[in-house]
Structure 1
Amino acid sequence: MPSAKPLRLASVNVNGVRASFRKGMGEWLAARDVDILAMQEVRASIEDLQGLLGDDWDILHDPATAKGRAGVAIASRNRAHIHRVELGAPDFDSAGRWLEADYEVGGRVLTVVSAYVHSGEDGTPKQVEKYRFLDAMEARMPRLVEHAELAVIVGDLNVGHRTLDIRNWKGNVKKAGFLPREREYFDRFVGAEDAPDYNAGAGLGWVDVGRRSAGEVDGPYTWWSMRGKAFDTDTGWRIDYHLASPALAATVKTYTVDRAAAYDERWSDHSPVVVDYAI
């Protein structure tokens, strides 16, 4: 990857990569000059990915244990030096939800994680699994920064941290994705919103690039239901993140949510989150 220009890292929950390509993802990617593309909810094989993306991309893929479910991948313009997929205790099934890769950029190591947190459902085993995943993620985050000063966790983390992150937050305070216990994880990742050093060294010290870039505004949202008029009325959730180490966050040049121009131009229920890092 050339170091003369910022490295462009895009992340998107593709909601089935084969369907997304049929609806226009390929055209978006061809126009976006992406260096590293992290995908979640791939629901396809690595052969499918290679066929869709082409030989110019080096692809890492971690499929889910259950065929046709979840799945994470990272595609890049150069080859990863190391990749890892294990997360949590040996008896914890994180397959298809956590993929780490190391890249050399400008003579430095950049660690990229494509993560897909469970959606959960309060009061059910699905929520228990979600908390187990978030626990494992929290335990892994300090190790990532010890391994590489430049590190970023991107993907569909399925939690809106603050009221700014969900348009209809009052109607969702008792639902998975906005439960107090879920949001407390992000308080520990980047700091509580009332902390004096929120998003600037609080908690584990990670930086929510989207919130730092956008400021104290509603959204910008990254997911909208396919039902009703949610997209047209911008009744969305900001649940897709770039959580960057402090050193990497300091290199951010631009942050963009590639929201489709119209409902019928969407190729996923999520929009890509694209960040330029001047490494």
Structure 2
Amino acid sequence: MRIITANTNGIRSAARKGFFTWLAEQNADVVCIQETKAQTEQLTDPVFHPEGYVAIFSDAVKKGYSGTAMYCRTPPKSVTTRLGWDPLDSEGRYIRADFDAVSVISMYMPSGSSGEAAQAKKDSFLDNIYPHFVELKAAGRELVICADWNICHREIDLKNWRANRKNSGFLPHERAWLDKLYNEAGFVDAFREINQEAIYTWWSNRGQAYANNVGWRLDYQVITPGLVPLIRDAWVYRDEKFSDHAPFIMDYDVSL
């Protein structure tokens, strides 16, 4: 099973940059997309409905903002896009597809970088989504949570960690939230199970951050422990630039 997660920073923009041409060659089973910035009725072009995939979209009420998508080679048994609270529902920040063997989630965590109100919104999201993940895990489902988490967990996860200790995305309480997700709730950072290297998935558009690889690892696949022995490979694709994020790909020895 190959799962790709990618924040496209506008799915139509990424399409113009060749994202779907690249995707057609990846043999992915599930593709999780964050920040579509589009309404479903704007995505009628066949490019947004790749052959062989079921397309699922969760739109924000506000046009041109947020939104998630998922492409599934195997039709899911059920799909969930609403959990009954905002901003998750009104901003289209969540899709869960349930298959026989596993459930896959595409999620877009709010950013808190624009100020105190944005950070408060992000903190509220963290408070609300945590018990949901705990509940799903307690139900016995194997889970792969693909997300732009908008949080770096450890110093190795961003190049300039010293300068960002007081900035959203690397705040102590955000990092502690991930500690709790891993150490108390029992979830696993799938990439870190097989690779301890410094890799990044997002680069600022300022200066030469991308060219100099001064980045942040914001895009993770977080899994339940039962999937850990089935991890086979993981990598970031940087040969082409579709967005300010790069696609993050993982292979698992499991069938949907």
1:238 counterpart = 2:232: no
Equivalent residue number for residue 110 of structure 2: 118
| Aligned-partner Cα distance in 2 for 1:176–1:160 | 10
1:222 matched to 2:201? The reply is yes
Alignment of 1:104-115 (within 5 A): 104=100, 108=101, 110-115=102-107
- Given the alignment of the two structures, is residue 79 of structure 1 paired with residue 75 of structure 2, yes or no? yes
SS of residue in 2 equivalent to 1:270: coil
Q: How far, CA to CA, are the matches of 2:186 and 2:82 in structure 1?
A: 23
1:203 aligns with 2:176: no
Shift of 1:51: 2.4
Matched to 1:99, the amino acid is I
**Match in the other structure for 2:179:** 187
**When the two structures are superposed, what TM-score results if normalisation uses the length of structure 1?**
0.85
Partner Cα separation in structure 2 for residue 76 and residue 29 of structure 1: 13
Is the Cα–Cα contact under 8 Å of residues 80 and 96 in structure 2 kept in the other structure? yes
TM-score by length of 2: 0.92
Preserved CA contact (<8 Å) 1:59 1:73: yes
After superposition, give the CA deviation of every residue in 1:131-177 in whole Å (9 maximum; x if it has no partner): 11111121111111233431111110000011010100111111110
Gaps (5+ residues) in structure 1? 1-6, 191-201
Aligned-pair distance for 1:50? 6.3
SS in structure 1 at match of 2:245: coil
Which amino acid in the other structure matches residue 248 of structure 2?
Answer: V
Q: Select the residue among 31, 37, 54 that pairs with 2:31.
A: 37
What's the % identity of the aligned pairs?
34
- Would the alpha carbon gap of residues 172 and 153 (structure 1) be closer, same or farther in structure 2, given more than 3 Å must change? same
Residue 189 of structure 1 deviates from its aligned partner by 1.0
Partner of 1:172: 164
Once the two structures are superposed, the pairs formed by residues 16-165 of structure 1 within 5 Å of their partners are 16-47=10-41, 48=43, 51-52=46-47, 53-87=49-83, 90-95=84-89, 96-104=92-100, 108=101, 110-121=102-113, 124-165=116-157
Runs of 4 or more above 6 Å deviation: none
**Is the CA contact 1:15–1:268 (under 8 Å) kept in the aligned structure 2?**
yes
Whether contact under 8 Å (1:208, 1:242) holds in the other structure is: yes
- 1:222 positional shift: 0.5
Shift of 1:122: 7.2
Q: 1:214 to 1:50 in 2, by over 3 A?
A: farther
Query: SS state of the match for residue 215, structure 2?
Result: coil
Would you say the 8 A contact 2:6–2:248 is kept in 1? Answer: yes
Asked if the contact 2:39/2:63 (under 8 Å) is kept, the reply is no
Q: C-alpha distance in 2, partners of 1:176/1:235?
A: 17
Give the letter aligned to residue 23 of structure 1: K
Superposition CA RMSD, Å = 1.6
Alpha-carbon contact 2:158-2:215 (below 8 Å) kept: yes
Count of residues paired in the alignment: 250
CA distance in 2, matches of 1:74, 1:92: 20
| Structure 2: runs of 5 or more not aligned | none
Q: What is the CA–CA distance in structure 2 between the aligned matches of 1:270 and 1:229, rounded to whole Å?
A: 15
